[in-house]
């Protein structure tokens, strides 16, 4: 996107009207609130739906298989952001891509709300994977378009936006988790309603609040190339379908082979993305330097999300199997623990937003914030291994230990996630603005692809080793990143 267009967008957006921020932040805040309400509501009960017995309304799948499927699902959700970024940058623009994604997500939740079999589950997953890939990176890109690059409110604005994300993520497990006690499909229906409400907010407020934000196609595909591209994509889809059908029929495309393939793609795809953007003639020398600076930030993000995303897999099982669920006179649904992480973010996000504004130019640099994030995420796994150390691997754990682990990880999340969103919009080459945001979300895809490989090593017997090795690795990487932060900062060419 040309700098002239960026300036036009900023001038078209009412710059006050939502807690001292651009009015468009209201539209994006509540659209993403309802989208995350639907996504995290579904995800809070998904692993239980898979491994609970059929007599309890589940599918009766193996527990380890269920955890691996959820990890692969999460990886593909974020990997599909490549599609959303490309369609936005080359064809639709961010605004239209967000709307189309919301439609697909809603249809995916509707499919899951219909009682059926594993086939219906995977149909739903496919729709939500594609829909989230269209919506998630592009709505974050629009947030960045509301502010000029020099606007000191930028990081604070992303923190407020991130609070909206987590407000939806906080409420949905409480509601959907309660519905799970009656019927899993009732919970999935509530998720579908949430996405519908998000679409209503977006459609009816975007014209007044967003101005030109989301309307420009940053690197439009020439009309002469469109037919060729669509033909190539169509043939590619047909070829992949044939290969998958043959692989399944011949028996060499097994679940383990699929997990391994996604794991490879989780790191191969972003590597190719970095090379393509770096070598593009549309990328300037300054932008190439910033791409180099972005690589260690990307890797740090992979390490962080590899820990954080286990909150809905390993720690979800930990909540169900290892935690005292009758506590302080009430019975706790294991799904309710999925609300702990967003609750702490809602509480602490305003504190961090205020802190960055208060510190101004004295705040830690982006690489330093990422380094601190890795230290806290590692400590969160050290915390959760302590109950097994003190009480053994078979005793039920006080739920406060699990809550403390979430709290420590949330501090790391607030040092990395909103800061990473903001840094991505500032470090992105102009011709690849939405695709750079897709690359940011690929760090989560890589993390969950990695998780699909390592979660099989978790068991009550290996609990201390599992949490200790992963947590220790994060802490060590945090110290390394902090040591090389000044070097990374030089490559960022003035971006802090």
- Give the span between the Cα atoms of 216 and 351, in whole angstroms: 34
Average pLDDT score over residue span 425-437: 80
- Give the span between the Cα atoms of 389 and 379, in whole angstroms: 15
8 lies in a domain? yes
- Give the span between the Cα atoms of 118 and 24, in whole angstroms: 40
Q: What is the structure's pLDDT at 377?
A: 96
Tokens 């992963």 -> residue? 470
Average pLDDT score over residue span 416-440: 82
229 lies in a domain? no
pTM (two decimals): 0.80
> 288 in helix, strand or coil?
helix
Structure tokens of 130? 């594609």
Average pLDDT score over residue span 476-482: 95
- Work out how many domains the chain is built from and give that number: 1
Q: What is the structure's pLDDT at 469?
A: 95
Query: Do 39 and 127 meet the contact criterion of CB atoms below 8 Å apart?
Result: no
pLDDT tens-digit map of 228-261 = 777 777 787 788 778 777 776 766 767 777 778 8
**72 contacts: CB under 8 Å, gap ≥ 6:** 258, 259, 262, 448, 449, 452
**198 contacts: CB under 8 Å, gap ≥ 6:** 30, 31, 32, 33, 34, 35, 37, 38, 102
**Cα-based distances in Å from 374 to 32, 299, 335:** 26, 11, 26
Percent of the chain with pLDDT over 90: 23
Q: Does residue 306 register a pLDDT over 80?
A: yes
227 lies in a domain? no
Confidence of residue 409 (pLDDT cuts 50, 70, 90): very high
Average pLDDT score over residue span 8-13: 74
- Give the span between the Cα atoms of 296 and 303, in whole angstroms: 11
Question: Which of the pair, 257 or 412, is modelled with greater confidence?
Answer: 412
Which CATH number does the domain housing residue 410 bear? 1.20.1250.20
36 lies in a domain? yes
pLDDT tens-digit map of 142-190 = 888 887 777 778 777 877 887 788 888 899 999 988 888 788 888 888 9
Average pLDDT score over residue span 486-495: 86
- Give the span between the Cα atoms of 434 and 218, in whole angstroms: 8
352 lies in a domain? yes
- Give the span between the Cα atoms of 437 and 415, in whole angstroms: 18
Q: Is 363 exposed, middle or buried (0-12, 13-18, 19+ CB in 10 A)?
A: middle
- Give the span between the Cα atoms of 23 and 331, in whole angstroms: 42
144 lies in a domain? yes
187 lies in a domain? yes
Compute the half-sphere exposure of residue 60: CA atoms within 13 Å on the CB side of its CA.
6
- Give the span between the Cα atoms of 134 and 146, in whole angstroms: 20
Confidence of residue 406 (pLDDT cuts 50, 70, 90): very high
pLDDT tens-digit map of 309-353 = 998 889 988 998 888 888 877 888 888 998 998 899 888 888 887
**Cα-based distances in Å from 337 to 161, 265, 324, 347:** 22, 31, 12, 16
230 lies in a domain? no
- Give the span between the Cα atoms of 104 and 329, in whole angstroms: 42
Q: Does residue 4 register a pLDDT over 60?
A: no
Confidence of residue 105 (pLDDT cuts 50, 70, 90): very high
Question: Which of the pair, 52 or 2, is modelled with greater confidence?
Answer: 52
Domain span including residue 467: 3-219+251-491
Buried b (16+ CB within 10 A) or exposed e, 452-487: bbbbeebeeeebbebbbebbebbbebbeebbeebee
How much of the chain is helix, strand and coil, in % rounded to 5? 80, 0, 20
Average pLDDT score over residue span 41-64: 83
Q: Is 229 exposed, middle or buried (0-12, 13-18, 19+ CB in 10 A)?
A: middle
Average pLDDT score over residue span 273-282: 89
Question: Which of the pair, 416 or 209, is modelled with greater confidence?
Answer: 416
Confidence of residue 102 (pLDDT cuts 50, 70, 90): very high
């Amino acid at each position: 996107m040309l700098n002239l267009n960026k300036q036009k967008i900023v001038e078209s957006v009412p710059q006050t009207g939502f807690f001292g921020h651009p009015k468009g932040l209201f539209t994006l805040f509540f659209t993403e609130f309802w989208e995350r309400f639907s996504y995290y509501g579904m995800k809070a009960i998904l692993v239980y739906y898979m491994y609970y017995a059929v007599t309890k309304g589940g599918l009766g799948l193996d527990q380890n298989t269920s955890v691996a499927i959820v990890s692969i699902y999460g990886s593909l959700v974020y990997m599909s952001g490549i599609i959303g970024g490309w369609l936005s940058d080359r064809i639709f623009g961010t605004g239209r891509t967000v709307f189309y994604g919301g439609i697909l997500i809603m249809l995916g939740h509707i499919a899951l709300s219909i009682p059926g079999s594993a086939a219906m589950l995977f149909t739903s997953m496919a729709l939500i994977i594609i829909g989230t890939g269209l919506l998630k990176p592009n709505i974050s890109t629009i947030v960045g378009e509301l502010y000029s690059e020099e606007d000191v409110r930028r990081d604070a604005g992303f923190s407020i936006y991130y609070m909206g994300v987590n407000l939806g993520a906080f409420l949905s497990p409480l509601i959907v988790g309660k519905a799970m006690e009656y019927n899993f499909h009732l919970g999935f229906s509530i998720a579908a309603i949430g996405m519908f409400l998000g679409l209503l907010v977006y459609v009816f407020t975007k014209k007044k609040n967003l101005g030109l934000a989301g309307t420009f196609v940053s690197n439009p595909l020439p009309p002469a190339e469109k037919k060729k591209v669509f033909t190539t994509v169509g043939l590619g889809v047909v070829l992949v379908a044939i290969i998958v059908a043959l692989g399944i029929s011949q028996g060499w495309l097994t679940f383990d082979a699929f997990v391994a393939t996604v794991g490879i793609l989780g790191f191969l795809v972003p590597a190719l993305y970095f090379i393509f953007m770096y070598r593009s003639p549309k990328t300037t020398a300054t932008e190439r330097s910033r791409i180099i600076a972005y690589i260690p930030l990307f890797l740090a993000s992979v390490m962080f999300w590899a820990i954080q995303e286990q909150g809905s897999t390993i720690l979800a099982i930990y909540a169900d199997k290892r935690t005292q669920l009758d506590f302080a006179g009430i019975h706790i649904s294991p799904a309710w623990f999925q609300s702990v992480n967003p609750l702490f973010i809602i509480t602490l996000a305003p504190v961090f937003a205020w802190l960055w504004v208060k510190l101004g130019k004295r705040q830690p640099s982006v690489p330093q914030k990422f380094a601190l994030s890795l230290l806290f995420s590692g400590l969160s796994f050290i915390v959760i291994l302590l109950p097994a150390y003190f009480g053994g691997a078979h005793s039920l754990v006080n739920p406060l230990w699990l809550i403390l682990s979430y709290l420590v990880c949330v501090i790391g999340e607030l040092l990395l996630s909103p800061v990473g969103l903001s840094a991505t919009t500032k470090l992105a080459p102009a011709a690849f603005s939405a695709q750079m945001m897709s690359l940011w979300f690929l760090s989560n895809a890589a993390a969950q692809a990695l998780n699909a490989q390592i979660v099989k090593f978790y068991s009550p017997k290996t609990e201390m080793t599992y949490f200790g090795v992963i947590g220790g690795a994060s802490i060590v990487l945090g110290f390394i990143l902090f040591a090389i932060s000044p070097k990374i900062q030089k490559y960022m060419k003035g971006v802090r």
